[in-house]
Each structure stands twice: as C-alpha cells, then as structure tokens.
Structure 1
Amino acid sequence: MAQTNLSPEERKVADKVVILSKELIILLAVFTVSLFSFVIIAYRVFYLDKTGADERAFAFAHSLVTDGMTQLMEFVTFFGSHYFLIPANLILCAFFLLKKKSRYSIKISAIALSSLLIMLGLKLLFNRHRPLIPLLEPARGLSFPSGHAFMSMCFYGLLMIIIWKEERPHPMLKWFLLVLVIVLLLFIGFSRIYLRVHYFTDVLAGFSIGFFWLFMSSFLIDKIKPVGLKKS
C-alpha cells in the first residue's frame, strides 16, 4: 500500500511547487493579456486605420480644458518625463544599495535601461507622428507608443511591486501607497491626451507594453542569482 503521508521535507517541496505553479499561471496570464492588448491596438491603428477612440478621447479632454486644469496636467506630466524618471531611478538604486538590497538595485537599473531601448525601438518601428493640434507646445519625437506611459508603467509599476513585497509597512499604509501610485500613473497617461501630445491609443499601448515588459524582465531577473548577491 502506497504511503500517503509526506515528510516535512517533501511537504515543503510540494508547497514550493504549488506556489511556483500559481506564479507561472499568473505571469502567463499577465504576459498574454498585456502583449495581446498591444498587438490589437497596433493592428487597429496601423492596419485598420481605426482612430475613433483617439478622437473621442480628445473631445472628452477638450471639454475639461481650463487654466487650472492645464496647470495641473503640466505638473502631473512632469512625473512621467525623463527629467523626473532618470534621477528618480538613480536615487532609488542608491537607496537600495545603501540598504544592501542589491537585487532591487539591479532590477531597477536593468528595467530602466532596457525599457528605454525598447521604447526607442518601437517608436522607430511604428513611426507615428505626434498630434498636429497640441494644447500648448509641440512635443518632440515620435508618438507610438507613449514614452511617458511606457516608462512610467515600468518605474511606478516596479515601485508598486517593491511596496507590495516589503513587510514593514502597515497593510493600510501599503494599500494607501499602492492606490496613490496607481492614481498618479493614470493621471500621467491622461495628461498626455489632455495636452494633445499623444493619442489615446499611444497611451494605452504604452501602458500595455510597459506592463508586459515590467513583469517579463522582473521575472527573468528574479531567476538570475549572481554570486554574492542576496535575493530581495
């Protein structure tokens, strides 16, 4: 008769297998949905030439235009610009190096650099020009996908992962910080549409591919175990 009781060691192994299986299922779902969303958006914009969502988004944003709202959107969009994200990434890297959490420092720098290269490559590939009717000043560079949305998703998304994994914050504080970061992320995306420097589909595509790359690169980095570095 087969023995059904597992030893403590075997039970630990079995628990790890179950956890790993759940993580893989979640990751595969995230990868599939985010990448599929990006492909669908690109297909509709560049192959089907369907831009009705962009026009409706501009019309909605135009209905909200006031001097105060414009100042707010200019302020919010700064937090998705390279003027903020470059020093923010450097400060975050230095912070975790001082705390001797090298895994986070590696992850932050690797995701920041790789996402920048991917964003530039995608912009050159799709070669979509900016909207011709900016609310204030014209933005430089190409339009699809939105660099603000892409880079913000990578940076703030990683920040949310770090907040979620840290054990010290009180659960209420942790949820407050997560909601705060999500709201900021959404406002950054909307600010690009409001200021008419990006189409709605640019922003949506930037969030989608940024979400995909954030989880893909984070997963791959976690599987790499350089000698002498502790996993955070």
Structure 2
Amino acid sequence: MEDKMDIKNSKVAFGGIVLSILLFILTIIAVSNEGELAFDRAITDFIHTLIPSSLDPFFEGVSELGDKIGIGIVALLFVILLWWKKKDYAGIAAFVLCVGLGNEVNKVVKDLIARPRPVTAHIQEADTLSFPSGHAMVGLLLYLFIAHLLAKDLKSNAAKLVLAGVAMLLILLIGISRIVLGAHYPTDVIGGFLFGGIWLFIWVFLYETYHERLNRRGEKRV
C-alpha cells in the first residue's frame, strides 16, 4: 500500500514540476515581449483596491522576511538548530546550497531577462532588475525547505498540514508585499514562485535520495 502511495505521490510531484517548468517558460516569453502586461496592471490595481495604504508598514515588515538580512538571520538560526538538535549535516548542506545557490541563480536569470522594475519601485531597487522576484523565489526556498525538514519530526498529519499552511501563507504574504510596495510586477512574483518551486524540488529530491542511501548502508552494516 505504501509503495503504491509513493509511486502516486512521485507521479504527482513529477507532473507538478513539468507544469511549473512550462508555466515558467510561458511567463518568460510574456514578460520578454512587454514591460508591463495588462495582467500585471489588473492584478496590481485589484491588490491596491483591496489593501489600504495604512497596511504598508505591515507589508514592509513582511517584505524584510524575504530580504537579504531577514533571509540570512532565519537561515543561520535554522542551520544552528539542525546542527545542535538533529546533527543533520546532509540537511545543513542541502539547505545552505539550495538557498545560497538559488539566490545566485536568480540573479543570473534576472540578467538574462533584463526586465526593468516598475516605475513605482523605491530608488534603491530601481537600479536592479525585476524578473523573477528574488524575495518570492528565495523566500519560498527558505521557508518551504524549513517546513519540509521540520515536518520529519511531526507524527500528526494535521500538524504537518498546519506547518505547511503557515509556511505557504508567509511566502504568499512576502509575494503580495512586493506588489503592494511597488517593487515588482505580479508576473515577477509568479515567476519567482514557479522558479523557486522547480529549484526546491531538485534539492529536496537530492537530499531525500542521499539520506535513503545512507540508511541503506547503515542497515547493511547492522
């Protein structure tokens, strides 16, 4: 029964990644042809209508959780936790490489696409490129990888769902904050989420495969 579930889950995951790759490619094609899309304008106007400007300070704080300093602090604290509590060296390596290299790959893609920021972007951000959103991508890598590793210690499926829900809500808020603050187009955020999901899948797959091999070696020695 478990083998059938694993096969089914693997097929779903593979299908999700293929779909994400296709959507990411389509998004690249769309943003390469125009600066601001009608879709971007519609979503941005809707969000600004829905969210009052009085909440800008809240979203500025949320945005900091996906910024370099926020990402660095959270990542460092989690690495310390993995080392001190779990001695999960493979987890530390995969986590650091996933987030660190993901940030650098994001910069490379930004240079290749070369999409300018929205005209409403802050001065310190206006000189940098826009697609895909680094906050959206790296925030997704950080908080979903943390949720994945923490979920291993949870026995209750309900607790795992709550953990995943909290992580995804935080990631969604980070993405919305970039639109609210005028730092990114909605398609930048969507592209960041899609690319982040693809990149995360690769590293989680490598991590799980590596651990399975270690477990098999341990069983043979015993």
TM interval, short-chain normalised: 0.7 to 0.9
Kindly indicate whether residue 146 of structure 2 is the aligned counterpart of residue 175 of structure 1.
no
Report if the CA contact (8 A) 2:117-2:183 is conserved.
Answer: yes
* 1:221 maps to 2:207: yes
Q: Which residue is 2:220 aligned to?
A: none
Contact 1:150 1:209 in 2 (8 A): yes
Of 5, 20, 39, 1:34 maps to: 20
Whether 1:126 aligns to 2:134 is no
Q: Secondary structure at the residue paired with 1:224?
A: helix
* SS of match in other structure, 2:59: helix
Return the index of the structure with the highest Cα Rg.
1
Q: Is the 8 A contact 1:102 1:230 kept in 2?
A: no
Hey, what does 2:71 align to over in structure 1? 85
Structure-to-structure mapping, 1:195-214, within 5 angstroms: 195-214=181-200
- The residue number in structure 1 matching 2:38 is 52
Evaluate the alpha carbon distance shift between residue 108 and residue 27 of structure 1 in structure 2; reply closer, same or farther with a 3 A threshold. same
Map 1:70-149 onto structure 2 (within 5 A).
70-98=56-84, 99-134=86-121, 137-139=123-125, 140-149=127-136
User: How far, CA to CA, are the matches of 2:183 and 2:34 in structure 1?
Assistant: 22
Q: Which moved more, 1:140-149 or 1:214-223?
A: 214-223
Which runs of 5 or more structure 1 residues have no equivalent in the other structure?
1-13
How many angstroms apart in 1 are the aligned matches of 2:36 and 2:117? 16
Task: Tell me by how many angstroms 1:22 deviates.
Answer: 3.0
* TM-score normalised to structure 2 length: 0.85
In 1, the alpha carbon distance for the partners of 2:48 and 2:170 equals 20
Q: TM-score, normalised by structure 1?
A: 0.82
Deviation of the 1:180 alpha carbon: 1.7
**Match in the other structure for 1:10:** none
Local SS of the residue matching 1:145: coil
Deviating more after overlay: 96-105 vs 185-194: 96-105
* CA RMSD of superposed structures (Å): 2.7
Give unmatched runs, 5+ long, in structure 2.
218-222
Identical counterparts, % of pairs: 24
2:148 corresponds to which residue? 161
